[in-house]
């Protein structure tokens, strides 16, 4: 790149402006990257807690449904599940975390009271109620896990993208600009030295010419004019 740049004062000023802009951009991106990493670590901690809750709730739901099947039979369990009339509703909005748009999932009608589940209290036992409670809680955890995992994925993608931009500035663009700046400054210094040397030569030549002119004028003054007697040695 450096040899493709014409070594002029104008190009030097342009490169210095680009360096200043790139350095500011590099500092801004570094701060953004560090901020994103801190936000990501917070979400990662939350994700680990949600994953632990998800695993625990899943195991609890499985135990309860297996117990309900064993005590009430598959037909009773399937009948209770089929009686559900109001299904959960999920809405998704978005929120901004340091310029990264992540989903914010809201759910309604997940947790239900006994009379909202649709199956009659007569003919069912507490085993089915416990299984329903466990799966409702599991569903809420699944929804929260989806929100947290998606946010974590988007944050990680933005961190990687920001890191690539920081590295591109730090290891490619800025070194090229510094190299171009050094090249132009070196060439301008060479040109300045050459100009000083040329001016010195011109000055020396002019001084020689002036000295020769003075010498010629002095010799002309010493010659006798026409008609003037030449002085003898006597």
pLDDT at 154 over 70: yes
Asked if residue 48 is part of any domain, the answer here is yes
Answer yes or no: pTM beyond 0.85.
no
Q: State residue 19's pLDDT score.
A: 95
Asked if residue 192 is part of any domain, the answer here is no
Contact of 168 with 159, CB cutoff 8 Å: no
Domain encompassing residue 71: 10-175
Per-position DSSP letters for 31-72, written without gaps between them = HHHHHHHHHHHHHHHHHHHHHHHHHHHHHHHHHHHHHHHHHH
> Dmax over Cα atoms in the chain, in whole Å?
164
For residues 47 and 216, what is the distance between their CA atoms, to the nearest angstrom?
99
pLDDT at 16 over 90: yes
Asked if residue 98 is part of any domain, the answer here is yes
Beta strands 89-97 and 100-108 are antiparallel
Asked if residue 137 is part of any domain, the answer here is yes
For residues 173 and 146, what is the distance between their CA atoms, to the nearest angstrom?
39
For residues 107 and 88, what is the distance between their CA atoms, to the nearest angstrom?
7
Least confident span in 56-65, 134-143, 178-187, 205-214:
205-214
Give me the numbers of helices (H) and strands (E) for the chain, helices first please: 4, 2
pLDDT classification of 165: cutoffs 50, 70, 90: very high
Asked if residue 5 is part of any domain, the answer here is no
Count of domains for the chain: 1
Dump pLDDT digits (tens) for 31-87.
Answer: 999 999 999 999 999 999 999 999 999 999 999 999 998 888 888 888 877 877 777
Q: State residue 117's pLDDT score.
A: 72
For residues 73 and 75, what is the distance between their CA atoms, to the nearest angstrom?
6
Asked if residue 155 is part of any domain, the answer here is yes
β strands within the chain, DSSP E: 89-97, 100-108
- CATH number at 112 reads 1.10.287.3240
Dump pLDDT digits (tens) for 122-139.
Answer: 556 788 888 889 998 999
Percent of all residues in the chain with a pLDDT value above 90, rounded to a whole number:
50
pLDDT classification of 95: cutoffs 50, 70, 90: confident
Smallest Cα–Cα separation from 111: which of 138, 85, 93, 91?
Answer: 138
Asked if residue 224 is part of any domain, the answer here is no
């Amino acid at each position: 790149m450096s040899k493709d740049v014409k070594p002029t004062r104008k190009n030097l000023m342009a490169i210095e402006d680009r360096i200043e802009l790139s350095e500011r951009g590099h500092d801004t991106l570094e701060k953004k990257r560090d901020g994103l990493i801190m936000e990501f670590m917070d979400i990662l901690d939350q994700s680990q807690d949600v994953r632990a809750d998800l695993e625990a709730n899943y195991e609890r739901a499985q135990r309860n449904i297996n117990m309900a099947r064993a005590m009430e039979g598959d037909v009773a369990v399937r009948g209770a599940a089929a009686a559900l009339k109001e299904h959960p509703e999920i809405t998704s909005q978005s929120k901004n975390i340091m310029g990264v748009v992540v989903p914010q999932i809201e759910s309604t009608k997940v947790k239900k009271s006994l009379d909202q589940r649709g199956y009659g209290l007569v003919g069912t036992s507490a085993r089915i109620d416990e299984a329903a409670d466990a799966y409702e809680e599991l569903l809420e955890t699944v929804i929260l896990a989806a929100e947290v995992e998606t946010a974590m994925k988007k944050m990680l993608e933005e961190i990687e993208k920001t890191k690539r931009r920081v590295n591109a500035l730090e290891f490619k663009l800025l070194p090229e600009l510094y190299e171009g700046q050094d090249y132009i400054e070196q060439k301008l210094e060479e040109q300045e030295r050459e100009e000083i040397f040329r001016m010195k030569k011109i000055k020396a030549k002019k001084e020689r010419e002036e000295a020769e002119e003075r010498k010629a004028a002095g010799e002309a003054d010493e010659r006798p004019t026409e008609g003037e007697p030449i002085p003898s040695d006597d």
